[in-house]
Amino acid sequence: MEKLVYPPLPKRFNTTGPCEESAHYMIPPLPRVPEARGLVSEGSYFVLHASQPLGKTTFLRAFAKQLTSEGQYTVVYVSCEAAEAAGDDADVAQEIIATRLVDEAERQLEPGLRPPPFVASSPASRLGQFLSCWAQSSPRRLVVLFDEIDAVRGQSLISVLRQLRAGFPDRPDRAPWSVMLCGLRDVREYKTASGGDGGRLGTASPFNVKVESLGLANFEDDEVRALLEQHTTETGQVFEREGVDRLIELAGGQPWLVNALAREIVEKLRVTGPITRAHVDEAKERLVLARATHVDSLVSKLSEPRVRRVVEPLLAGEMAPVDQVFNDDVSYVVDLGLVKSRPLRVANPIYAEVIARVLSAPVQESVVADPRSFVRADGRFDLDVLLREFAAFWVEQGDALTEGATYREAAAQLVLMAYLQRVVNGGGTVTREYGIASRRIDLLVTWPWTDSAGKRQTQREAIELKVWRDGRKDPLAEGLRQLDAYLDRVGLGEGVLVLFDRRREALPLEDRTREESAVTATGKPVRVLRA
């Protein structure tokens, strides 16, 4: 029967599964991990780790195909995801992985390179025996690329790693010449995944033959531009320069976010003309509100203690602890893709906004204020009403809302952000900036309105949040200096400084909540809300 040939479909921005060159706009995957080729040549066992979804599977498939085509290696790529269901049953997990290897070899390799029929003499070492048998029969050196290796858990993971380590001295005749383990975490995190103490990781055992841990980086700015240019070449639709710059800024190079923003504009908003900054901002808002699967899977981690220990000081702007446990936690959260290090910060503005919205969402349920009451008759946002109404809300509910908060160090700031999001949502936007050791959160309210002449205008209001904690002096002076610099950066001549007094000896809320006036060193007027 003659094989059907399907006509090519228009290329798309991909947000589901690995990229296919014929179907998707994509950045060439092999140059993204240039070190991998040399490690295979050396016969190394090594790790590739990166957050989801960053393009790992796309790279592995292309890498396997390229190595096999060179004629020196028998290379197979296999996903271990199905073995997650085996839990601690190591025998079942090995059988699943070995079966997947046979299936993938049938799909990826020509008959002479596929594994021979095999029957394990011991289920406890089935995978090692299978790989040894295949290495002995293969006319080329065997290379195995294990994807989603950290889906294997507990005793099953320990068993798989130990068998790989045991075979290492016998390569290439009786074991794979080179092995790549690919997943979300570096190998030193696998001890935690297998039920060990993540606070004392120490050695990489039982996989201490690992010589290298490689990462898969986010897109560089030029790569984002090249990806968007592929769409222009394919369709003629142009991304305006300001739109491209805004997309780069919001996504922070995260490949899924880059593709998701572009896809939202092209396929969901169905923009037909040039793509502008406004289109990118609208796409961002839709992604945040939709809580797409990728974003939702990340924010679901916020309740994990290890994630909270990293994100909470970031959100509160406080100094982080200096110890090995915290460093291990940072490595874990970096591998998840939520933060970047050096300096420690949230990975991109979209994640920063999602984190703040998710953590403040329960508080929003307590805000019954009507957003329409915060809009002036001329259409502008009423900052006077905001400060007055929030002060009343804080006096009435502040203690109750902060008392049981999971992110206790940032609880007061989250209450204000929740209130602000509730009253601004739908008419304007709130941009948040926060980072480790900054001791502040900067908020920028952007509010579009139409003047009496029918001309579209944009109102912007800057609000800085600070906390007065035990053992520290009044943060007013520091806050005025920081707000002065922030106002210069965003091009505004006045702002609001909110000081939350969280000291144990602070007066009751009704006695300490009041508004004052102040002036920065450069003469900018500031409204100070003490709360």
- Residue-level pLDDT at 209: 57
Over 50: is that where the pLDDT of 184 sits?
yes
pLDDT tens for 262-284 read 999 999 999 999 999 999 999 99
Write out the H or E segment, with its range, that includes residue 401.
Answer: helix 383-403
Q: In the structure encoding, which two tokens stand for residue 373, read together?
A: 């009451």
Task: Name the pTM for this structure.
Answer: 0.85
pLDDT of residue 197: 44
The Cα 35–Cα 67 span in angstroms is 14
Averaged pLDDT, 200-205: 40
Is a pLDDT exceeding 80 seen at residue 291? no
For the segment 397-426, the average pLDDT, to the nearest whole number, is 90
Tell which wins on pLDDT, 103 or 197.
103
How far apart, in whole angstroms, are the C-alpha atoms of residue 362 and residue 63? 45
Question: Lowest-pLDDT range, 188-192, 321-325, 505-509?
Answer: 188-192
* pLDDT mean over 287-303: 79
Q: What is the chain's mean pLDDT, rounded?
A: 89
Q: State the pLDDT at residue 178.
A: 96
Query: Tens of pLDDT along 318-374?
Result: 877 778 888 889 888 888 889 988 888 899 999 988 898 888 888 888 888 899 999
Model pLDDT, residue 217: 86
Of the candidate ranges 56-60, 130-134, 187-191, 276-280, the one whose mean pLDDT is the lowest: 187-191
What is the structure's pLDDT at 411? Answer: 92
Distances in whole angstroms, Cα of residue 224 to Cα of each of 36, 246, 453: 23, 11, 39
Q: What is the pLDDT of residue 191?
A: 52
Give the CA distances from residue 13 to residues 22, 218, 408, 460, in Å, rounded to whole numbers and listed in that order. Answer: 12, 16, 40, 33
Which pLDDT value is given to residue 87?
A: 92
What pLDDT is stored for residue 179 in this prediction? 95
Whether residue 435 contacts residue 344, with contact meaning beta carbons closer than 8 Å, is answered with yes
Residue 199, pLDDT score = 38
Helical segments of 138-271, H only? 154-167, 190-193, 221-235, 241-251, 255-263
Could you read off the pLDDT of 73-96 as tens digits, one per residue? Answer: 999 999 999 999 999 999 999 999
User: What band does 293 get if pLDDT is binned at 50, 70 and 90?
Assistant: low
Better-predicted residue by pLDDT, 19 or 183? 19
CA distances from 528 to 82, 414, 495, 496, 516 (A): 56, 18, 9, 6, 5
Q: Are 49 and 213 in contact (CB under 8 A)?
A: yes
Residues 6+ apart with CB under 8 A from 180: 36, 39, 40, 45, 46, 47, 48, 60, 143, 144, 145, 146
Handedness of CA 361, 367, 368, 372 (dihedral sign): negative
Tokens of 383: 């900052």
Name the E strands within 98-167: 141-147
State the pLDDT at residue 204: 45
Q: Which domains does the chain have, with CATH numbers?
A: 30-215 (3.40.50), 221-295 (1.10.8), 363-530 (no CATH)
Q: How far is CA 358 from CA 52, 144, 403, in A?
A: 19, 40, 18
Tell me the residue ranges of DSSP E strands in 395-484: 429-434, 441-450, 456-468
- Rounded Cα distance between 409 and 312, Å, is 7
Predicted local distance difference test score (pLDDT) of residue 235: 96
Does the pLDDT at position 496 exceed 80?
Answer: yes
The pLDDT, as a whole number, for residue 513 is 96
Average pLDDT (179-201) is: 60
Q: Give the pLDDT confidence of 434-486 residue by residue, as tens digits.
A: 877 788 999 999 999 999 889 999 999 999 999 999 999 999 999 999 999 99
